[in-house]
Amino acid sequence: MEDKNILELERRFQEKIDNDIKIEPNDWMPDDYRQTLIRQISQHAHSEIVGMLPEGNWITRAPNLRRKAVLLAKVQDEAGHGLYLYSAAETLGADREETIDDLHSGKAKYSSIFNYPTLSWADMGAIGWLVDGAAIMNQVPLCRCSYGPYARAMVRVCKEESFHQRQGFEIIAHLAQGTPAQKEMAQDALNRFWWPALMMFGPNDAESKHTVQSMNWKIKRSTNDELRQLFVDVTVPQAEMIGLTIPDKDLKLNKETGHYETGEINWAEFWEVVKGNGPCNKERVDARRKAKEDGLWVREAASAFAEKRKNK
Amino acid sequence: MSKKEWPLWEVFIRSKQGLNHKHVGSLRAADSTMAIENARDVYTRRSEGISIWVIESNNVFANDSSESDALFEPADSKIYRHPTFYDVPDGISHM
């Protein structure tokens, strides 16, 4: 009887998904669907939060006040995106404190791109242009994700991200048209961020263990390789336009398909970074832990103040 | 401290005068005043609102979604509540 019930609930659930009816927090859902979403949404939230660090590194050293105000606004947006996502994860029953502890203990992952260092101002350009550009490719289809709160959070995020990409492109385009030394800085940033940006889309479809189920549940609406291809196709002409060279000697346009073909991605490097052995993994998690510890007195003060106000 | 989490607040924003407040998401804060201040930073960075309501999530009560078919069924059979149910002869206007 019980099993039959579950089967019927699962059938109705999948029927809703197939008819593009969104799933909302109080609706019945299979446990795997819930767990998959909690994993994906919290990883996404962590990526936004950790993503503030490489850019935060340059706020005090921005070349002028305009660039500084813009970068500050962008980093603040990322904090906001992390918060939208943590609260979306909470609607599934995830405990916020535990979610954050999982990041700090190394149990939870975040996008491996943020484990690369930001060595020059041009990296702010490369991150906005390539990293936010790749993130947008990933996030736009998520606005149609089957889980309502995640999809709604993504709509807000995507609206805000488009400024992120443009500000980055403006930085790098400006440098690319500057002095030879500035152009070299821009090219160097592209050289270092191009391949990690391609890795942001995740393993090839054949290697991606979650893709099939996530596509059936409409948590994921396009495969890793499809999105990566889309990103390459739009980005290569942008690089050409500003006079920079994509660091891939095998890159060529296939006239028949109209798509660019790239060289082989270094997946060994990707997996090393995912496993925690990237250039900045330890630094990033340490910085998050320190931020939490250093902020303890502020949180305690806020609680004490709220208590005092309540008793007045 | 770590186990005493701040309460969760549901945030509602009125985007402009004349429109109703609309649910936009949630956040954690120590009390209602701080929840409003945080909501300002999290949900209105681009002038999305002119008024904010926050309600502690514990105080939101909802119907049981597994029984919503039965709950809303009575309205489904009363199509005569809609103007399109009625025949109006050609030539009649202002109705």
A 212-241 residues inside an 8 A Cβ radius of B: none
Q: Is 70 exceeded by the pLDDT of residue A1?
A: no
Residues in chain A with CB shorter than 8 Å from the CB of B2 are: 97
pLDDT, mean of residues A221-239: 96
Reference A43, options A91, A92, A102, A93; nearest CA is A102
Number of CB pairs, chain A paired with chain B, less than 8 A apart = 57
3-class secondary-structure state, position A75: helix
Of the candidates B50, B22, A164, the one whose C-alpha atom is nearest the C-alpha of residue B40 is B50
Q: Which residue of A has its CA nearest to B44?
A: A80
Q: What is the spatial distance between Cα A252 and Cα A242, in angstroms, rounded to a whole number?
A: 18
Among A226, A276, A213, residue whose Cα is nearest residue A32:
A213
> Would you place residue A54 in the very low, low, confident or very high pLDDT band (cuts 50, 70, 90)?
very high
pLDDT digits (tens, 9 = 90+) for A231-287: 999 999 999 999 999 999 999 999 999 999 999 999 999 999 999 999 999 999 999
Q: Tell me if A203 sits within 8 A of A267, measured CB to CB.
A: yes
Between B54 and A311, name the one with better pLDDT: B54
Domain ranges of chain B: 8-85
A16: confidence class by pLDDT, cuts 50, 70, 90: very high
Alpha-carbon span B11 to A154, nearest angstrom: 17
Q: Is A19 on the interface with B (CB under 8 A)?
A: no
pLDDT of residue B2: 45
Q: Could you read off the pLDDT of B37-46 as tens digits, one per residue?
A: 999 999 999 9
**Cα-only R_g, chain A:** 21
Find the CB nearest A26 among B1, B46, B62. B62
Query: Can you tell me which residue has the tokens 């790098």?
Result: A172
Chain B interface residues (partner A, CB cutoff 8 A)? 1-6, 8, 25-31, 33-34, 41-42, 45-46, 62, 64-66
Instruction: Report pLDDT for A208.
Output: 85
With beta carbons under 8 A apart, name residues in chain A contacting B33. 309
Residues in chain B with pLDDT < 70? 1-3
Mean pLDDT (whole number) for A193-202: 97
Q: How far is CA A137 from CA A57, A197, A228, in A?
A: 25, 11, 8
For residue A162, the chain B residues in CB contact (below 8 A) are none
CATH class of B8-85: alpha beta
